[in-house]
Chain A
């Protein structure tokens, strides 16, 4: 197996990891990004980003494409569709092994983000989806259920409507919707949309394909069967920290605990983005974390191991 040595290994190529890579590369650090899928992370699945300073509205994937191009231009090594099989973070040299190679560095930035909370229903069902951009095409003129009354649920329902979906039922388990008033007004004004709070999916009814959902009013216990052809789930996110559970300090919800320089409890290991314990999870806050983590790595390497960790002419 190949073994490559870098100044810093960044795990996760979302906006936090890519921002960290840009700052690390510009600090002349040999940098590798290891990404399980493709760079861009959750933002890739956001149809329209409307709060990124400089673009009033831009497709998430287009925005991430620009960041990825910038990162590659600076000579960052990027390994995509790669599976991490082992990590040793404890000593001075950290090793991360993937299915094909191993990487050594004195610093690691964890930027693994979050993944959607799954809908727990008894049966496996092909018509339960988490990405409307990917899976919306089959639902023109059909009936769908959107689960989740936050900004994501309302945003995605509007996107699905733009694809020509016949009818949307949106449900939220809490007693109110959490999406911004503006977007709530926009969706709820549509004739082919019905929405209800205090409601959860109790079961699904399927024969080969999804036929209906059984909805339960969580206050009254009342049950109703509603026919739908597909379900799109936006019930929030869980941090991607399963593989870190035994070595990194996590909070009760599984988020990485960091200090003001994005440092973790392990010397030389930093973290950035949605995976970190914090209040607001946005593109800009993930970028801020990535920036701080990369600058802190540069400082850590300089203070502990001298100005240049690797002989950059030896590449």
Chain B
């Protein structure tokens, strides 16, 4: 008996599990790239090869550039606060003893709830006249924005919901990373005269950096694919202010049946993701120290 697998074993253990992956991932990926080079509209039986036209059109299309812009803003403004808050909460929670688990439970709860259902709830919380958010802001005499119906605030409302849902997830990852840091390192730094700020900056942050990188990638991929909350809270509006690349893809493909242009958008999202993946490999070389 040796570890070298024979054909029958490979068939059972490798080929069969790969069938769904090939049918629903690899083949569709290839077809998508092909479709993005055509002008298919889903209804007509025929279509033509149009080369890079779809891509060139996109680059000259204001809606696309706006969506790219929105995607960038949405990604940065969800990923960074999620990581920073998740880290801060984890550090604070790490000091507690008996109550830690309970509080972690509260903070993580949003992650398990369905985005669709909770977005419906949030859409009412953001309601300018009867929603609790503006009522509370009003109590303190703060400005009461129109949130979802104002193109300057709508994206921030979507961002708030996204961060709210993801921060507990990041917190749990960081909590886990923190418990794995040997306690002696902080004592050693203490003995050497490092203050709290120095210990956080010079020991804690570098030591959780592999986890930060991991979360950064996962959260960025999630942000690039955000759909549910946008679809319910704003449907890309008002006046396109929350239309991200993915939402644009959805509109082009499943509302306007402009399959060629729509798939071109996803191929671009794919390229952005692949670029990020590549970047993360390079960064992880720099960060991994043990």
A and B from one complex: no
Residues of B in contact with A (beta carbons under 8 Å apart): none
Residues of A in contact with B (beta carbons under 8 Å apart): none
